[in-house]
Amino acid sequence: MIDVKEKQTIVDLREKPYYLDEEAISWVENTLESMTIEEKIGQLFINMGSSTEEEYLKNSLEKYKFGAVRYNPGPADKVLEQNRILQENSKIPLLIAANAESGGNGAFMGGTEIATPIKIGATRNAKYAYEMGRVSGIECAAIGANWTFAPVTDIMLNWRNPVIQTRTFGDDANRVLEMSKAYMKGFMESNGICAMKHFPGDGVDERDQHLSNSSNSLSCEEWDNTFGKVYSGMIDAGIHSIMVGHIMLPAYERKYNKELAQGGEIMPATVSKAIITDLLKGQLGFNGLVVTDASHMAGLTSRMKRSDMLPASIAAGCDLFLFFNDPDEDFGYMMDGYKSGIITDERLNDAIRRILGTKAYLGLHKKDKKDIVPPKEGLSVIGSEEFKNIAKEISDEAITLVKNVDKSILPISVEKNKRILLIEQEISNPVMAMFIGAGSKKTFTEYFKEKLEAEGFEVEIYESPIDKIKRVSKEEAGKIMMNAYSAKSPITDLTDKYDLVIQLASIYNAAGTTQRIEWKMSKGTPDIPWYVHELPTIFVSLCSPFHLADVPQVKTYINCYDKNEDTLDALVEKLLGRSEFKGVDPVDSFCGLEDTRW
């Protein structure tokens, strides 16, 4: 149980996580004293600009005076130049954030992807979480980013949750804490700071706060022993900032907000004083910087007017507001909230001290503006062979043989499985598919086919009727569909032609969340593995670890956690029996269902 204490919720810059000396504190106080109210309001915002043009960047800084930036990823040299312009033209040095959850690929295009957190969790080895943080820190620092919105400290307690299936280290609080601390240690070696997310904890609700309400429905005691354990451990370890999700925490909301004890509307944590000030800063004693999650999500925007939401988040205890919608409107809403007294001077100045204190911790106040962002030559560290080899090693360690009921299927061989049918379950959202496919020479299925053919297998990629009708006339499409739904094919059409079926599933939609499989057909076509008693069948998930719920009948099920080429290389080695399966399930991939184990 967490020890509930009466704690000071006003920042102390001499204490953890700042440990500022008198010189740094003087800079914070002198800067605060010199700021106009417009500059203070501006400091509360994290901007994501619509352009990287120098004139736009300079004008935005001058007009809105924002305190931090989280930019859209682009080529490393372009991001570096953007960050240079921003730091050289900002009156107060900026916090520049990246979403480096899995490696430098979250900071810019072409950054090294080390692994998704769930993949790290499958290794059960915290050294890989450390390496993920270390590589992220090196590559972020190279382009001038000093802040990562990571690690993801959520716990996967509900397999139906679509938001964090690949973004969590697993379903065990102790493992999540161990991995998160290791990531933070690695990242901070490059003189950056971390923002763990998404307080008060995702992974309980099956809804997605990007699209609707989301709630952490645990009791206070249950929360203390899971999410609370992780947050307390990370705070003790010196985490500098925490991102608050648009997630309700009814048990603690009712505990600290007595007016809600008998019912009433629970608000998301982002605008809840009970959760941010009383629980996080009071009970847990967090003395650092609190940032909201992105402010366009429906879990927040659907709950109150935007004009009320902005000042309410700061009044609740958040210190930085993530993203303008319309900059003029949002700046005005925040200013109106101050003028009307929703944001008090005490709360505003406390937020500014935390922001400036974080910048002082990073030593930004001591640097010449032209020296904050490193020179272009530093980009040479990006994508080194050392980093790539770390990713390869993790792939070998992580791939998990979750289910292998029919022991005769593995290992596969040319002698018994020469003719293979590959069936792809790919992204269902056409917009996301278009962006991911842009510039790609081959799909992951085509790459996997080539790997198997190089071993001597004969491999065919299945084309479903749904895919075929995209290439034909409306009349011909109608015939194909009618045949698919009315015709009955002999089982021998499959068994005489193939010796093995391998299904590859990568479901990852445009919102960045993982979802259930959407079967292209539903009446006898090979899309659905109904034939597991007719043909040896292997189902491989390349994203979500929870597809067994949709294919409980398969006898051999493997989680790979991503579709990177080094992962597919390692998968082939394991299918052939030349490498053992080393991964340990970081969640309950059987989804708590009895039939998935048969």
Q: At what angle do helices 126-142 and 385-398 cross, to 10 degrees?
A: 150
First to last CA, the chain: 38
Distances (CA, A) of 595 to 13, 165, 171, 517, 590: 55, 21, 21, 18, 9
Q: What are phi and psi of 504, to 5 degrees?
A: -115, 120
Distances (CA, A) of 203 to 161, 218, 510, 513: 6, 11, 20, 12
d(CA 415, CA 500): 12
Whether residue 214 contacts residue 247, with contact meaning beta carbons closer than 8 Å, is answered with yes
d(CA 226, CA 472): 54
Helical H segments across 65-110, by residue range: 76-89
Tokens representing residue 362 in the block: 């990073």
293 is catalytic: yes
DSSP β-ladder status, 537-541 and 95-98: unpaired
Nearest to 560 by CA among 577, 578, 582: 582
Name the strands in the sheet holding 95-98, side by side, starting at the edge strand that comes first in the sequence: 289-292, 241-244, 193-199, 147-148, 95-98, 68-70, 45-47, 321-322
Neighbours of 323 (CB within 10 A): 16
Among the listed residues 293, 330, 350, 527, the single catalytic one is 293
Name the strands in the sheet holding 458-461, side by side, starting at the edge strand that comes first in the sequence: 400-404, 556-559, 537-541, 500-505, 419-425, 458-461
Nearest to 292 by CA among 9, 40, 16, 46: 46
d(CA 456, CA 420): 11
Three-state SS at 236:
helix
Q: Which residues contact 375 (CB under 8 A, 6 or more apart)?
A: none
Three-state SS at 317:
coil
d(CA 311, CA 301): 13
d(CA 509, CA 429): 6
Three-state SS at 195:
strand
Whether residue 114 contacts residue 64, with contact meaning beta carbons closer than 8 Å, is answered with no
Catalytically annotated residues:
293
